[in-house]
Chains A and B, each alone.
Chain A
């Protein structure tokens, strides 16, 4: 059903993913639950661990729902921050088809 729906919902991440953004991001993801999601992390400048947790919890939940959860665009800062904290986003990167 939902997996049939190929229209991925976009989610653009804020530049600063800090303590305050964690709750906001959490809410945004909860709203988008049940549909494939393409995350735009191209504007991200700063990644706090709390937001990384929320994103990874999202990825886990989407996986359980067998829905696609991908990072469509990422900034350098985003990539480096995730590398720093040992969060591997490579499997979640959007694949060019």
Chain B
């Protein structure tokens, strides 16, 4: 069965890159444009793994991760943070919010797939 990936990113460019990369790697991809939408589609997306940006309008990545971790059904889903912010402070905040791992931008398909493979069974 194909693994399902929910991506949450406000940049159309990055969304498309994620879509192409993930589809090529044999994943099923569901996309949301910000944290609010990400939480809205969580149920229907039923993801095996989530990839999220940090800087987003309405609800940022930190808030989104906290939201997922509070969801009884989806709190165990691994979440990878996709962001250019790789400094310790941001990583730490994401981790405290409950992120499983991170992928440092610039966007790199190999790193992305690798990270997803690492956190999923």
Residues of A whose CB lies within 8 Å of any CB of B are 18-20, 46
* Closest beta carbon of chain A to B117's beta carbon, Å: 15
A20 to B76, CA, bound (A): 7
Whether A20 contacts B121 by the Cβ 8 Å rule is: no
Q: 5 A-B Cβ contacts within 8 A?
A: A18-B76, A19-B75, A19-B76, A20-B76, A46-B121
* Closest beta carbon of chain B to A23's beta carbon, Å: 10
Residues of B whose CB lies within 8 Å of any CB of A are 72-73, 75-76, 121
Q: Max chain A CB contacts within 10 Å: which of B72, B73, B75, B76?
A: B76
* Closest beta carbon of chain A to B4's beta carbon, Å: 14
* Closest beta carbon of chain B to A67's beta carbon, Å: 31
A91 to B121, CA, bound (A): 27
A-B pairs, top 3 by smallest CB distance, nearest first, are A19-B76, A46-B121, A18-B76
Chain A, Cβ-Cβ closest to B74: A20
A82 to B5, CA, bound (A): 27
Which residues in B have their C-beta under 8 angstroms from that of A46? 121
Chain A, Cβ-Cβ closest to B73: A20
Which residues in B have their C-beta under 8 angstroms from that of A19? 75-76
A2 to B42, CA, bound (A): 46
Which residues in A have their C-beta under 8 angstroms from that of B121? 46
* Closest beta carbon of chain B to A4's beta carbon, Å: 40
Which residues in A have their C-beta under 8 angstroms from that of B76? 18-20
Chain A, Cβ-Cβ closest to B76: A19
* Closest beta carbon of chain A to B120's beta carbon, Å: 10
Q: Max chain B CB contacts within 10 Å: which of A18, A19, A20, A46?
A: A20
> What 5 new A-B contacts, CB under 8 Å, besides A20-B75, A20-B76, A46-B121?
A18-B76, A19-B75, A19-B76, A20-B72, A20-B73
Q: Max chain A CB contacts within 10 Å: which of B72, B73, B75, B121?
A: B121
